[in-house]
Each structure stands twice: as structure tokens, then as C-alpha cells.
Chains A and B, each alone.
Chain A
Amino acid sequence: MVDVTPADAVPPAEVAEMELYHPHSWWTKYVFSQDAKVIAIQYSATATAIGLVALVLSWLMRLQLGFPGTFDFISPEAYYQFITMHGMIMVIYLLTALFLGGFGNYLIPLMVGARDMVFPYVNMLSYWIYLLAVLVLASSFFAPGGPTGAGWTLYPPQAIMTGTPGGQDWGIILMLVSLILFIIGFTMGGLNYVVTVLQARTRGMTLMRLPLTVWGIFTATVMALLAFPALFVACVMMLFDRALGTSFFMPAIVQMGEQLQHGGGSPILFQHLFWFFGHPEVYIVALPAFGIVSDLISTHARKNIFGYRMMVWAIVGIGALSFVVWAHHMYVSGMHPYFGFFFATTTLIIAVPTAIKVYNWVLTLWRGDIHLTVPMLFALAFIVTFVNGGLTGLFLGNVVVDVPLSDTMFVVAHFHMVMGVAPILVIFGAIYHWYPKVTGRMLNEAMGQFHFWVTFLGAYLIFFPMHYIGLMGVPRRYHELTNTTVMTESAHDLNAFISIMAFLVGFAQIVFLFNLIWSIRHGREAGGNPWRATTLEWQTPETPPAHGNFGKELPIVYRWAYDYSVPGAKEDFIPQNMPGSFGTSREPA
């Protein structure tokens, strides 16, 4: 019944002891640290800080949309700048950085049983370049002309022309430079995440024993390494167009009655490059969320994940498929009908592995011993939200439905549900889940419950009505829509309602931040394994894990990550590093 190879097949030097870098001063221990755990916290803190800026920007936008004509300081230019910065910060500087730089750095070495990332110095550089990218981005708020208002997709030619905020000022240049820096920094980190999973797994940790969190982050990192170069190329070429006057993307164009020196370029070329990055980006954010949520559900329902193999294959399959669907963002740019058909088909095919994952989560819950802890609540909310956002994705994947809806608030509602709210819910759940490991103390339960219910219900009250507004034909990207036929009185009322909900949800995040800080000192002592979980990060000798993670000897892995409620076992969980055979009810292979 035991399907393992004897130990003599293992070369003794399989997991070579790493030469750990030992910090000598306060600076190298907490600031210029090469310890992945410190880097993870630095990444998370920076991402959260810039994310708060993006949150405030969304409030300003909602002020304008909900109560048009009331706030003089929100000019049309300012509104476009808010949109652009909100989108770019949330997608790249918050979600990507937090999932891969934050959770990736913290969890990968701990979960695979490694002492640290394989290239700690490069890992440290990765964070500092990321910080530089964030600072460059933030500096554009103070540059003459303000940040760019080109929309987060930065489509040329408007992105670099007069009339677009920041187009002929510093805004767009700072944005492009910041993105280029981000990509360089991310590549350094990404190499670490991938090679650590490949090379630094502890003995016994086969790929099929990895927790799904690691599978999700690993696959997402591979995708990001291959997709970000497309954004890099697009940014470099646009920077050339803007700063040096080339015509990669710029067609012959007249600006303010004056013929520009550009000519012959193709804006569509930019769209191809941008979305060749942009679509995988959706899954770069979603796959870590898929992985993390699988672990949360399994742990808090005290039940093994249903269909582990299928989950792994689905993650890899989604990762591969997501590279051949990019043009579904370009239906309205016009394309050969056969291409439209092809991209609509591939888009709908992605729904298959995604649906498999949803079924598996639900089947994991089925007859599980569900503990409605805060992380579990967030995980459940994720499933609902993701299904909701995914279903509207099926609408928009079809060319004939997408073309009329593409410019409406329906699309805004769709992508916020599926790649805004859903991954953020997972991030919250994950923070409530792993905070005890990071700090040694639990987050406050009452504040957590409050945060969850306001965030979850509030997010629904924001984005669910937005679908209806979109179906009524209210277009997106407009600063003000008074006296138009689509903007009926009920649409106005809904908009005001949505705005009020947005403020409420935003304020609930302050409770969360307070909880994060308050609990460091006042939280309940957590102990090493408060959730009674199986994965290796909960088996460290010290909490929070010390430098080098696992004390003197690295753990040896004897089983998969999901041995919950095994019949016949003493406890309802068996850690991955516990040897021995338990249980009687299992069928032989």
C-alpha cells in the first residue's frame, strides 16, 4: 500500500545544507536583510502602503461618480489620473507584489522545507528595486502635470499626447520607468521563487506532495516571468516614442492643428504586446489565490482537498491556456472574424479547468467539519465571488456580447469581481490564517468578523448593482454623465448608493489595519500550530520561525499536505513530516 522508493535511492547530498547568510548588524537583519521572511514583510508592507493610496483614489472617483458636480477639485483630468493610478497600482504594485513578493517569499521556503530562497542576495535586490519602482510611481503625483491619465492600459497614441494628463509632461515617463523597474525587480524575485521550488525542496517533498499554495505561486511565477517581458517591450518602445520621437506605435497624427513628426506606427501593436502580458496577469493574480484558498478550505473544513491531482493539472492547464486568449481584450479594436472565433473559443475553454477547481472546493466542503473561522469565511466568500465574476466572464468572452458591453460599467463590475474582490478576499483570508505564524499571536476575532462581513457584503453592494448600471448602458471612463438618456434617475441613485458603500468598505479596512498593529502586542498567544494544520510552515521549532526556518535539521516529508481527519489516526491532522502509517480505510493503489 505504500508507494514509495526505498531510501537508498536518495543520494545523501540531495538537499545540500545551504550556506546561510548571517546578519551582523541591525541594518542587515531588518533593513537590508537577505532572509526571505523579512523580505516578504517588506514587500507586504510596501504593497499595502501603496495599495492604500489606490484605495483613496477609488474613493475620490466614487465621490465624483456618485455626486457629480459637487466636488470642484475633481476635474476631468484629475478623474482620469485617479482611474489610471488606481488600476495600475492595484493590479501590479499591490496584487502581483503581495501574492508573489509577499506570500511567495514567506511561504515558499517554509512550505517546501528550505532554509531560505536559493539566491538570497538577488532576492534582497528584488525588493529594493520594487521599492524604487513604487517610489518612482508615487513621485509622479508630485511631478509637473501630475501622474499619467492614460487609463491603466496606457493605449497609444493618446497616452503620450497633449490632452491626456501627463502625456506631454512627466507622468507617462515616470509610469513607464516605474514599470520597467518593477519588471526587472520582479524577474530577480521570480527566479528565486521558481528555482527554490525546483531545487530546494526537502527530502520526500515530491512535486505531488507540495501544498497547492506552492503550486499556485510557482505556476503564477513561471507565467509572470514569461508574460512581463511583453510589458517590458511595450514600455521600452513607448518610452522611445515619447522621449526620442520614434514611431513604433504612433501613427501620423495631427495634434492641436499641428502635424506631429510621428508616422506610420501601429497602436494595435501596442495592444497586442500589452494584452499578451495583460491577460496572463489576470491568472498571475488568480493562481496564487486558487492555491491559497485550497489550503484554507482544506484546513478549516478538516478534510483533505478533493481531487488534488486534478487541482494541480488545472493550475498548470490554466497557466498554459492563459497565453492564448489575450486578444479577447481587443474585440472592439477590430479583428478578422476567424481570430475572434479562435479567441472566444480559447476563452471559453479556460472555464473548464476553472470550473473543475470550483467543484473541487465545493466537494471539499461537502460533509466537512467546517469551522467558520475568519480565514474560512474569507475563503467561502472567495468561492461565491469568483463564481459570480467568472460567470459574467463567460458573457464577455463572446464577441457579440462583448462588443456592446465592452464600454459599459458591466465590464468594470466584471473585472472587479473576478480579479479585484476575489483575490483580495483571499489575501485577507491568508493574512488571518498566517498572521499567527508571522507574529506568534492571533488576530482579534471580533474585529476580524466585523471586517469580513462589512468587506464581503459591502463589496457585493458595490459591484452587484454596477452590473445593472452597465446593462442599462451607462458607459465607463466618463467623468460626468448628467442629462444623457442612459443616465436615468434610478441609475443616478444606484451610483450614489454604490459610492456610499465604497466609503463604508474602505473604512472597514482601517479596522483591519488597526487589528494588524494592535494584535502584534495584544493578540492571543497562538502557539506553533493554532489551526492544527499539516503543512511544514506550522511545524517549525520556533514561532515566528527563526533565521534558517527549521532549527538544526530540515524536516523529512512522509506524506501529502492534506491528511485531515484520517480514520484511525489519533488526531484529526497528520503533519507532513510525521512518519508512519495511519488509518485503515484507504484503498490500495
Chain B
Amino acid sequence: MSVILVFLLVIAGFAGWWLSHQRLMAKPWLEQGVIGDVVALEGSALPTAKIGLGVFLAVVGCLFALFTSAYFMRMALSDWQALPLPRVLWLNTGVLVLSSIALQCASVAARRGQIDTVRLGLATAGLTALAFLVGQLVVWRELTADGYLLTANPANSFFYLITGMHGLHILGGLVGLSRTTAGAWNGARPERLRLGVELCAMYWHFLLFVWLAIFALLAGWAATFIEICRQLLT
């Protein structure tokens, strides 16, 4: 459970930092405002939708941290046999990075008001994300063809489970992305389009980060890394 605890520690740190800016030492019983005197809120200048997405991403991060925790705990048992990673995964990773870059470009273009670049970026991002999902399915087929079936070993089960869960999140993101893309073609208001593109980019970067972490986990590097940390500590 150490992975999830570290994750929660990060969340707690962030929450603590935020709370420390909220005048928790104020003495509200001494505050009596008169008309015209209104206490300034430390309200965030960020759009509400972005904060909503940020909170949601914390929940998603929590989910994957828990899968990782379970992975490490199950890995420690004796029947674990790591499975070889198909090379296609590298290609898929590259495609997902491209997708993120395309959305980043779209986001920059939206800020500058270049609608054509926005459209190009959104379309590229959508297609590459679809390509990623297809690539993941190819990986699944390759593995099953080679006899690495879901139930054969817990390493296999985790592989399908975690990649599947990540794929589902990409699929959900594609729903949002397609709505934003439709807006870009049907002449949505510029500020609304910009917000939509930025939200998509934020979600995509996060899922890319999650994917890289999962990749490291499934490839076994994460375990090696933790082993090194443990040796350094002891």
C-alpha cells in the first residue's frame, strides 16, 4: 500500500499548501463587515471547469495508484511470472506522445486564435489517440496469440486489467475531444473553444503521464527503481 500512501501524501501536501493560503488562523468571530467592506476571497482565477477536471484527475490518479499498489503486493507472491512486453508498445507510446503534442499545439493555437491550426491539432490528436487504442488491441491480440492468456498468470491479468482501464479512460477522453472538435468546426465561441481545448490537453497530458508510469510498471523498471530506493534507505 506504499504507492497509494505516497500518492495521498502528495495530495495532502497540495491540500495543506492550499489550506495554508485560506487564512485558517482567522478569527471569524471578530469579523463584522459593514456595507462596502467585503472580505476578499482567495478564490482561484482558474475557470471552474479546470478545477473540476483537476479534482477528477486526482481521483483518476488515486485509482491508478491503487492498481499499482495491488500490483506490487500481488507481485511479491511466488507464482508471479513477468510477461515479455511486445515491441508494439513502444510504437504506441510514441503515438500517444504525438497525440499529446498535437493537443498542446492546438492549445497554443487556440490562445493565439489560429482556428485552422486548432482544427488540425484536434484532428491529429483524435486520430493518434484512436491509433493508440488500436495499437493496444494489437498488443492484446499478439499476447493472446503467444499464449499469454488473461488467467494464465497474475502478471498477465494485471497487464490486461491495467491497460484496459487506461484504454477506457482514453475512450472517455475521446468523447470530450470529439465534442470539442465538433465545436471547432461548427464555430463555437473562441473563449469556449479555448477552454475546451485546454481541458482536453490537460486530460491528455495526464493520461500520457499515467501511461508512462504504467509502462514503467509493466516493464518492471518501477520495481527495480523501488528496489534501489529501498537499498538506499536501508
Binding site for B on A (CB under 8 A): 1-7, 9-10, 14-15, 118-119, 187, 190-191, 194-195, 198-201, 203-209, 222, 225-226, 229-230, 232-233, 236-237, 240, 244-248, 261, 263-266, 269, 272-273, 276, 304, 308-309, 312-313, 316, 320, 323-324, 556-560, 562-563, 579-582, 586-589
Contacts and interface: CB of A to CB of B under 8 A. Distances in A.
A328 B226 CA distance: 27
B229 interface: no
Contacts of B33: 2, 4, 204, 557-559, 579
Contacts of A200: 48
B8 A586 contact: no
Interface in B33-79: 33-44, 48, 51-52, 55-56, 58-59, 62-63, 66-67, 70, 73-74, 77-79
A30 B17 CA distance: 41
A586 B30 contact: yes
Nearest to B65: A229
B35 A203 contact: no
5 contacts: A3-B31, A195-B52, A273-B70, A558-B33, A560-B28
B51 A198 contact: yes
B26 A3 contact: yes
A4 B37 contact: yes
The A interface is mostly helix, strand or loop, or mixed, namely loop
Contact of B41 (A10, A246, A308): A10
Given A191-B52, A559-B33, A246 B62 contact: no
A194 B4 CA distance: 21
B59 A2 contact: no
A208 B23 contact: yes
Contacts of A209: 28, 31, 39
A581 B32 contact: yes
Contact of A580 (B32, B43, B48, B73): B32
Given A2-B34, A3-B26, A272 B1 contact: yes
A421 B7 CA distance: 34
A581 B55 contact: no
Contacts of A562: 29
B27 A201 contact: no
Contacts of B70: 233, 237, 248, 269, 273
A208 to B, nearest CB: 4
A259 to B, nearest CB: 15
B158 to A, nearest CB: 8
Contacts of B38: 4, 7, 10, 203-204, 556, 558
Contact of B55 (A194, A236, A276, A323): A194
Q: Which 9 A-B pairs have the closest CB atoms?
A: A264-B79, A558-B33, A560-B28, A9-B40, A246-B157, A229-B63, A208-B26, A579-B35, A233-B66
